[in-house]
Amino acid sequence: MTFSRTALGSLKKTLPLILMALPGLIYLVINNYIPMSGIIIAFKKMDYSKGILASDWIGFDNFQFLFSTPDAWIMTRNTILYNLAFIAIGTICALALALGMNEIKERFFAKYFQGVFLLPNLISMVVISYVAFAFLNTDTGFINRTVLPALGLSETNYYTRAQDWPIILLIVYLWKNTGYASIIYLASMSGIDPTLYEVARIDGANKWDQIRLITLPLLRPTIVILTMLAVGRIMFSDFGLFYQVTMNSGALYSTTQTIDTYVYRGLMQLGNIGMSSAAGVYQSLVGFVLVLTTNYLVKKISPEDALF
């Protein structure tokens, strides 16, 4: 009797909380969990008339096809190399910018600079593709009509020259993301005890010594953690950067195709659901293993910064 009464009591206590959590949970189930079960599509010969469940199983055929094409290698190479460049160069630029901003003691100017450098991060990739277009197009582009003639160089059709895009996309990426990343480093810098610098000054340390011997070593955990988390996402790319900024130009695929653009093109433009879903599952599974691995490493360094 007492048992059931406490069970009833605890149900009365728990039920309202469950009901409150329910709408959000239902959304997660639909938006996230049902598509997870959809990875079986990659192992099927998808036939819309039969539906997903009744379509024929074909095992790893989709994966075999995918990895027998040159596309698999190109998109994997591009995704990883771009991410490595973004992580390495992006981190250095963000740290340099944060060190600079840390010198601005005037509150108004500090906020002003933060705002200016953050702004490119807040506009859509579509508008960024307009900006790139304004600089790069052949008819009216600033580079083609003003910069190249001034240098005595002839017109360049960037949207057909694949070899130029690694550097173009790196510049766009840095413009968009450096300010954002530097604000995070700046926040950690403001947490450093100022007496450390005063003591160093008394000992005759100049600014460069202070940066090298105090700021950077104390920022190391933040740098390591952000890098680890980025490495965990090395199989994923910013779809808009590689699809929209390149204006979906087919001539550029060799240097701009990433796993995300391949999945989109396979599904929406080529109607090749098998290859597209196989590429998606390949990305999700390798990505999952990488996230777990890097999270494990982050946990060893600094437990409170781990994702779980």
Segment 242 to 261, residues that bind another protein, using CB under 8 A: 244, 247
Least distance in angstroms from the C-beta of 213 to another protein = 15
- Of 20 and 88, the one with the shorter C-beta distance to another protein is 20
Give the separation between CA 34 and CA 24, rounded to whole angstroms: 15
**Among 7, 25, 88, 216, which residue sits at the site for another protein (rule: CB under 8 A)?**
25
Binders of another protein in range 206-245 (CB under 8 A): 206-207, 222, 225-226, 229, 239-240, 244
- Helix ranges, the chain (H): 2-28, 34-37, 51-54, 61-68, 70-102, 107-122, 125-136, 142, 148-150, 165-189, 194-202, 207-210, 216-232, 239-243, 253-256, 259-264, 273-301
With binding defined as CB under 8 A, does residue 18 bind another protein?
yes
135 contributes a contact to another protein by CB under 8 A: yes
Minimal distance, residue 96 CB to another protein, in Å? 9
For residues 41 and 72, which CB has a smaller minimum distance to another protein in the complex? 41
How far apart, in whole angstroms, are the C-alpha atoms of residue 252 and residue 191? 44
Using CB under 8 A as the binding rule, the residues of this chain from 62 to 81 that contact another protein are: none
Taking alpha carbons only, the member of 253, 267, 231 closest to residue 160 is: 253
x/- mask, another protein, residues 84-123, rule CB under 8 A, reads: -------------x-xxx-xxx---x-xxxxxxxxxx-xx
Could you give the CA distance from residue 230 to residue 227 in angstroms, rounded to a whole number? 5
User: CA 303, CA 111: separation in Å to the nearest integer?
Assistant: 32
Both tokens assigned to 219: 């920022």
Site for another protein in 285-304 (CB under 8 A): 287-288, 291-292
45 binds another protein (CB under 8 A): no
